[in-house]
Structure 1
């Protein structure tokens, strides 16, 4: 009987633990959201201070005036926020890759998206609008086709897209000095985009927890099936 149970255990797919990677991804999201909140606060400080009499930092034709203390501090805060987003991205992609590997083991089917898209799917034009979400959804539904995706996943992805396509959020087209000039004169679109990015980080926390808990439950169920079968297996005579 022991030999039979050992054979069944050997036939189980190799699952990777979800919880440690999920906790790191959650930490990265909280860090990025907090850093972006500080960035938004500095933009509002610039708005309240008002544009100096000398005009915006970038005065055109390659001329830049010396920055004041508040503008210099915004450069530092903006750089730190960008660094936090990079750290968050690395932790999130690591979690997503693990999730995808476990989903393949659960379903026994090759993933719909090649592994390279776990990384490049965030950067390539057009496909970046649905590949990352598709990888999360496919991993969630592995072993349970047709199951409804958690609302937090949809909220996370919707807010992420707003922050990405607004042009002043994660993928800003303006330089830092140009963002400073906009904060002086039209801060509300900046703050709206910041709110979308922060909201995406918060919703991402709930999405990571929901998807991770679901996959953990499916892994426990997959491991329990052969064990339950082994209980009723008679010992050889």
Structure 2
């Protein structure tokens, strides 16, 4: 009796997941804006102390500190939700690449999930997977150029810079003991939030363009198994 062949990969639409990722990245940007507002509020209180102009209301200081803590928690929750859905989307588009052009993929689909959790390696392996997925979504995967590679590089570079800067800014703020040190540290927090917003915008563009490329190829390509 001839054994049944193992079922191959099938296309699954990433459009719905891309919409969810876009909305969640919007929440991350909102959290960044709120964090910047809280940092500006704290900065204004430190200005009053260091300049000696006017009285400083301890209630305002408590509010500024609570605002920074609260927006920090909101940011972490938004980031966790976004990362979860983004990885699900990323795995989906990697599986689709297995249908479009499996021989252009240097790593298995499982790496699209696992690579994010490997310290240091998560700084370059996911980018390589993303580049392979972009190539598979090209009308000619074996051509010399890959559309949106510049966008991928820009997003990846700003995302890494944002993460590094955010860690430095948070440490600087946590270690600040004098009003002037707190004042200066809030500037770092504001800059870190701006970098994070830029990274989120670039991530939205990357998600939408890769999703659109796969969707267009799925609609145009005859003979592709769809599930």
Q: TM-score, normalised by structure 2?
A: 0.76
1:190-201 aligned at under 5 Å gives the runs 190-201=189-200
Any conservation in 1 of the 2:170–2:189 contact (CA below 8 Å)?
no
Residue-by-residue CA offset, 1:96-149 (whole Å, 9 max, x unaligned): 000000001111338322444323423433312211221211111115133324
Q: Distance in 1 between matches of 2:220 and 2:90?
A: 21
Contact 1:168 1:190 in 2 (8 A): no
Question: Residue 145 of structure 2 corresponds to which residue in structure 1?
Answer: 147
Aligned-residue offset at 1:180: 9.4
Unpaired runs of 5+ in structure 2?
A: 1-6, 50-60
Offset from partner CA, 1:160-179 (integer Å, 9 cap, x none): 0111122437xx76397447
2:44 aligned with 1:48: yes
Q: Is the contact between residue 104 and residue 135 of structure 2 (CA under 8 Å) also seen in structure 1? A: no
Q: Which moved more, 1:132-141 or 1:78-87?
A: 132-141
Instruction: Say if 2:37 is the partner of 1:38.
Output: no
Bigger shift: residues 147-156 or 44-53: 44-53
Q: Structure 1 residues 51 and 19 mapped into 2: Cα distance closer, same or farther (>3 Å)? A: same
CA RMSD of aligned residues (A): 2.9
Within the candidate set 99, 102, 106, 1:105 is matched to 99
Picking from 69, 74, 85, the partner of 2:63 is 69
**Alpha-carbon distance in structure 2 between the residues aligned to 1:138 and 1:105:** 13
Answer 1 or 2: which has greater helix percent.
2
List runs of 5+ in structure 1 lacking aligned partners.
Answer: 1-10, 54-66, 227-237
TM-score, normalising length: structure 1? 0.73
Rg larger in 1 or in 2? Answer: 1
Corresponding residue for residue 16 of structure 1: 12
CA contact (8 A) 1:75 1:176 kept: no
Count of aligned pairs: 201
